[in-house]
Amino acid sequence: MPAQSKIDQVKDVTDKLTAAKSAALIQYQGLTALDISDLRDKVRASGGRIEVIKNRLITLALKNLNIELPETLTGPTAIAFSNDDEISPLKEIDKVNKSKEVTSFKYGIFDQKLLSVDQLKTILSLPSKSTLIAQFVGGLANPLHRLLYTFRYNQTQLVLTLKALADKQAN
C-alpha cells in the first residue's frame, strides 16, 4: 500500500502538469548547485519553474494523464513547467544546454501529448510569443504606413506644383 504522502505528491505533479501550458523532462546531471540555482532563476523570470521529482512519481503522474513513456526514466530528472509562455522557459534551458553541454531534454509535454527530443527542438526553434506578436503587429502596420506615405507624397507634390505656379505668376 503506497504511503499517503506519495499519493499526494503524484496528485500534485499531475495537477501541475495539467495546469502547465507545456513541460519538459530534463536531465540536469553535471550542473553545479550554483548552475542549477541560476537556471531556476532564469526559468522563473521567463514564466516557468523547475522541480526535481523522483522518476517513479513522474511516471505515475504521466499515467494519470494517459501519457505513456516509451522507456523507463533513469538518472536524475527534473520537470520544467511553463505556465505563462509555452516556449520561453524551455528556451532558457536550451541556452544552458548549449553553453554548459550538461543539461539535456528527455521528453517534452505539450497539449497533454508526449514529444520526443527532436519534436521539442523543433518547437524551440520557433520565435517566442512576444516576437510573434511584434511581427504580427508590424505586418499589420506596414500597409498603413505605406498608405500614409502615398497620401503624403501626393499632397506634397500638389503643394510643390502650386508653389511653382504661384512663383511663375509672380515673375
How many CB atoms are closer than 10 A to CB 72?
A: 8
- 31 and 95 in a single domain? The answer is yes
- 48 and 16 in a single domain? The answer is yes
Flag whether pLDDT at 118 surpasses 70.
yes
Tell me how many domains the chain contains: 2
- 89 and 21 in a single domain? The answer is yes
62-71, 147-156, 160-169: range with lowest mean pLDDT: 147-156
Give helix then strand counts, H and E, for the chain.
6, 5
pLDDT at 102 (0 to 100)? 65
- 87 and 47 in a single domain? The answer is yes
pLDDT at 28 (0 to 100)? 82
- 44 and 105 in a single domain? The answer is yes
- 90 and 105 in a single domain? The answer is yes
92: CB partners within 8 A, 6+ apart? 39, 42, 43, 46, 48
Handedness of CA 43, 45, 48, 49 (dihedral sign): positive
pLDDT at 1 (0 to 100)? 58
pLDDT at 5 (0 to 100)? 86
**Distance (Å, rounded) from C-alpha 135 to C-alpha 124?**
18
- 43 and 75 in a single domain? The answer is yes
- List, for residues 140-149, the tens digit of each pLDDT value: 778 877 878 8
Flag whether pLDDT at 157 surpasses 70.
yes
Domain membership of residue 16 as a residue range: 4-126
Across residues 23-35, what is the average pLDDT? Answer: 85
Query: Angle 17-94-122 (CA atoms, 0-180°, nearest 5)?
Result: 80
- 53 and 137 in a single domain? The answer is no
- Helix, strand, coil percentages (3-state) for the chain, rounded to 5, are 60, 15, 25
- 51 and 87 in a single domain? The answer is yes
Residue 12, domain CATH: 3.30.70.1730
Domain boundary (126, 147, 163) is at: 126
pLDDT, mean over the chain: 85
**Distance (Å, rounded) from C-alpha 108 to C-alpha 76?**
16
